[in-house]
């Protein structure tokens, strides 16, 4: 019995352990032979021998199971402890989701310019999402076909601009913040649109802030995010909460502005909407527009990620396909 227990205890591999089990507990093993021979013993000896054989079978079976578990866990023969000198099992490293990577990179870039990160609720009031941003009540964006309205009269924010209102309501100028976050609109999902997406917006309010300051910040961001040769251009536009308003384009970092599939042969990629904060917005939050001025900008995180990582379909960000994330690592 001691020999069998010693062999099981010192089995170095699962194969060795299986040989021990077969030799003693198998159909043709020692225990089976002992059980077959019990009939040749006297009646009083038979009972005692049967109890001893069963006790041996139970002890050896228990030890074999314990040793099997130890071998599967990587423990060496004859040891009751984990061997820390064994080489570890390689686990593949994860990678950041491209949306998270772009948000972190944008926060780093703007942080070098003195911007801090501000956050706000996903469920917003109509006041913060529309009214305080100088959006008229008849504006199409208030329609239930464009916005997720709740039974409480609140809504899922359509932009991160409400965070700017909350920041200005709680702070005295100067203010310099970026507001990355999730937004919601009733868009039909396709390769370039989603009802759930991310934006990063920026706000700077101080004395004597001009459109030239905005252009300088956007040019710096473009070079840091897309490459040192990327240029910036502004085109006139309209937003309710900025005046004047502009669309901000970056020169295509793929073709260098000569025209390609990514920029639809225009040489430019539309990235952000921006402009000088409308004086009516400043008055709403209690800032005197005769003293304070500022600029604001906003851009889609998924759009930047798609351009930067060469992703053709926005739905790939949300399908949780591990092969997609591994391809970007």
pLDDT attached to residue 74: 63
pLDDT in tens, 84-120: 666 777 776 777 889 999 999 999 999 999 999 999 9
Per DSSP, the three-state class of 144 is coil
pLDDT in tens, 19-52: 878 887 777 777 777 777 777 777 777 777 777 7
Integer Cα distance of 101 and 253 in angstroms: 19
Q: Which residues contact 88 (CB under 8 A, 6 or more apart)?
A: none
pLDDT attached to residue 83: 58
Any idea of the CA torsion for 158, 161, 163, 169, to the nearest 10 degrees? -130
Per DSSP, the three-state class of 26 is coil
Kindly report the number of other CB atoms within 10 A of residue 268's CB atom: 17
- Residues 114-137 have a mean pLDDT of 95
Determine contact, residues 205/173, Cβ cutoff 8 Å: yes
- Residues 256-264 have a mean pLDDT of 75
Q: Which residues contact 97 (CB under 8 A, 6 or more apart)?
A: 317, 325
pLDDT attached to residue 11: 80
- Model confidence at 81: pLDDT above 60: no
Any idea of the CA torsion for 255, 260, 266, 271, to the nearest 10 degrees? -70
Query: What letter does residue 75 receive in the DSSP assignment?
Result: P
The terminus-to-terminus CA distance of the chain in angstroms comes to 56
Contacts 24+ apart (CB under 8 A), 310-319: 311/98, 312/191, 313/191, 314/191, 314/192, 314/193, 314/194, 314/197, 315/189, 315/191, 315/194, 317/97, 317/98, 317/99, 317/194, 318/194, 318/196
On average, the pLDDT of the chain sits at 86
> Tokens 């916005």 sit at which residue?
147
pLDDT attached to residue 71: 76
User: Would you identify the CATH topology of the domain 98-328?
Assistant: BirA Bifunctional Protein; domain 2 (3.30.930)
Determine contact, residues 214/274, Cβ cutoff 8 Å: yes
- Residues 286-296 have a mean pLDDT of 96
- Residues 271-280 have a mean pLDDT of 95
pLDDT in tens, 156-186: 999 999 999 999 999 999 999 999 999 999 9
**Structural domain spans, the chain:** 2-72, 98-328
Q: Which residues contact 116 (CB under 8 A, 6 or more apart)?
A: 176, 177, 178
pLDDT attached to residue 75: 54
């Amino acid at each position: 019995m001691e020999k069998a227990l010693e062999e099981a205890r010192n089995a170095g591999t699962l194969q060795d352990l299986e040989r021990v089990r077969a030799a003693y507990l198998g159909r043709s093993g020692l225990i089976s032979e002992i059980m077959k021979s019990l009939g040749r013993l006297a009646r009083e000896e038979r009972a005692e021998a049967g109890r001893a054989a069963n006790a041996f079978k139970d002890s050896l079976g228990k030890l074999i199971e314990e040793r099997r578990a130890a071998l599967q866990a990587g423990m060496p023969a004859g040891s009751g402890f984990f061997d820390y000198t064994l080489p570890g099992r390689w686990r593949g490293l994860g990678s950041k989701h491209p949306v998270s990577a772009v948000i972190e990179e944008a926060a780093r870039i703007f942080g070098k310019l003195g911007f801090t990160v501000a956050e706000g609720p996903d469920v917003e009031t109509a006041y913060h999402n529309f009214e305080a941003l100088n959006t008229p009540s008849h504006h199409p964006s208030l329609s239930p076909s464009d916005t997720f309205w709740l039974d409480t009269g609140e809504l899922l924010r359509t932009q991160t601009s409400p965070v700017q209102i909350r920041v200005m309501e709680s702070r005295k100028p100067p203010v310099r913040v970026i507001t990355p976050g999730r937004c919601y609109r009733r868009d039909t999902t396709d390769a370039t649109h989603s009802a759930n997406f991310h934006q990063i917006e920026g706000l700077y309010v101080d004395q004597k802030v001009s459109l030239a300051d905005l252009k300088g910040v956007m040019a710096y961001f473009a070079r840091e995010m897309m490459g040192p040769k990327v240029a910036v251009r502004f085109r006139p536009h309209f937003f309710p909460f900025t005046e004047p308003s502009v669309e901000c384009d970056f020169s295509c970092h793929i073709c260098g502005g000569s025209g390609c599939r990514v920029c639809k042969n225009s040489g430019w990629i539309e990235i952000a909407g921006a402009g000088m904060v409308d004086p009516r917005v400043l008055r709403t939050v209690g800032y005197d527009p005769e003293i304070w001025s500022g600029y604001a900008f906003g851009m889609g995180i998924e759009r930047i990620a798609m351009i930067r990582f060469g992703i053709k379909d926005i739905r790939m960000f949300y399908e949780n396909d591990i092969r997609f994330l591994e391809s970007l690592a």
